[in-house]
Structure 1
Amino acid sequence: MRDYQKYAIVVSVFAAVLYLSLVVAGFGMVSLITDREVIAEPLAGPVLGPVMVGVPVVLVFALMVKLGITTRPERQRVALGYAIGSGFAASATFIVVGAVGIGLDGVAPMPFAGSLLISPFTVITGIFAAIVVLSYSLILATQQGQHGRPLWPWESRDDG
């Protein structure tokens, strides 16, 4: 594995943790402001919510790793279209996982998926995914041509 691929994987881990944190904070703020539950279905089990958030986080992580390790550093660019597509994929995954999960709990999945489609929580999932993937691609694009670890302003590459 090349250095740029290791760097891309490490940054994608931090970006995925950031994404998870943003989603949890965003859900909490919207729930607090709107006095609305993230999952309003009373028959949903306690595992559904975390799985509905976890699967998009894993998806976004995988998309960032794919972007980082398949693109050589000199070809890295800010991937706006890729970020927007990742946001839509995260939102769709949030809805599909919710519908499948609620179906396993014995509730009709289509009305639940429809309520998720117009939910602000689905929008948060997608927007934060797009922002994090865009930021990730920006970080990789700005590292073009650098080798090794980042340096403090008083360090130079010649220092051992």
Structure 2
Amino acid sequence: MRSSAVGVAASSHATSPRAKLTSASWPSAAPSPSGNRASRTGIATSSDSTPRARRTGLAAFATVGYLAALIALWGILSVITDRDVIDYPDAGPLLGPSMAAVVCLVTFAHVVTAAGQANPWRQLVGTAVLTAVAAILVGAIGYGITRSDFAWMPAAAVHFAIGPFVPGAAVLSSLVVAASWAVSRSPGPGSIDSGII
């Protein structure tokens, strides 16, 4: 008689509203499908961002390639047009290398910036414009310093702007930035898109 009474009491306690509320209040340990989708989406989104170290290394290689291509381009244009890159006889030996150095710096900076962008087209236009402006300014200021007369700067700026070498450097810089952006968008080693974790 006592055992049957204990069994009835236990079964009534298990089916009581308090027991149902207690069991329902415990959090479920099984992850929800939406949470899994969110976590997978978050991982994929983070893998699309290019690490800064990779962007810097890519910019360094791109700048070295740009310098080599720039020397070749200026040589070809010099042969075709039958004129020197710096055709001022009194410009000195440092003006040409100074212009090449500044356009390389502009290219390096824009490769680093464009590698982290989803749409690089505005960056490509800015690269071409800033490369041309930087080369013209360095050429004009450098020639004014060489002549010890800054009144020559406007004429030198126009001379470099209408020549083939500065526009060629600007277009080449934009092409290098575009190619570097395309490389930066490709999946790197260990990324989810490449299938290597």
Q: Which has the higher contact order (CA 8 A, sep 6+)?
A: 1
Describe the superposition over 1:115-138 as per-residue Cα deviations: whole angstroms up to 9, x where unpaired.
111110011111001000111111
- Runs of 4+ in structure 1 over 6 Å off: none
Shift of 1:79: 0.6
- Between the two proteins, the alignment pairs up a number of residues equal to 144
Stretches of structure 2 lacking an aligned partner (at least 5 in a row): 1-48
Q: Which residue of 2 aligns with 1:102?
A: 143
Shift of 1:3: 7.4
Distance 2:190 2:56 in 1: 15
Output the aligned Cα RMSD.
2.2
Distance 2:121 2:55 in 1: 17
Q: Which residue of 2 aligns with 1:87?
A: 128
Correspondence list, 1:36-55, <5 A: 36-55=83-102
Shift of 1:22: 1.2
Q: Is the 8 A contact 1:78 1:137 kept in 2?
A: no
Matching residue within 57, 80, 83 for 1:33: 80
Shift of 1:66: 3.1
Q: Which residue of 2 aligns with 1:153?
A: none
Q: Is the 8 A contact 2:114 2:177 kept in 1?
A: no
Distance 1:3 1:84 in 2: 22
Q: Which residue of 1 aligns with 2:58?
A: 11
Stretches of structure 1 lacking an aligned partner (at least 5 in a row): 150-155
Distance 2:50 2:153 in 1: 45
Instruction: State yes or no: 1:112 paired with 2:156.
Output: yes
Correspondence list, 1:60-79, <5 A: 60-68=107-115, 71=116, 76-79=117-120
**TM-score of the aligned structures, taking structure 2 as reference length:** 0.67
Shift of 1:157: 2.9
Q: Which residue of 1 aligns with 2:169?
A: 125
Distance 2:176 2:124 in 1: 8
Describe the superposition over 1:84-129 as per-residue Cα deviations: whole angstroms up to 9, x where unpaired.
2101110111100000100101251111111111110011111001
Q: Is the 8 A contact 1:78 1:141 kept in 2?
A: no
Distance 1:21 1:112 in 2: 25
**SS of the counterpart of 2:89?**
coil
* Bigger radius of gyration: 2
CA distance 1:3–1:138, change in 2 (3 Å): closer
**SS of the counterpart of 1:114?**
helix
Q: Is the 8 A contact 1:60 1:90 kept in 2?
A: yes
**TM-score of the aligned structures, taking structure 1 as reference length:** 0.81
Aligned-partner residue type, residue 57 of structure 1: C
**SS of the counterpart of 1:37?**
coil
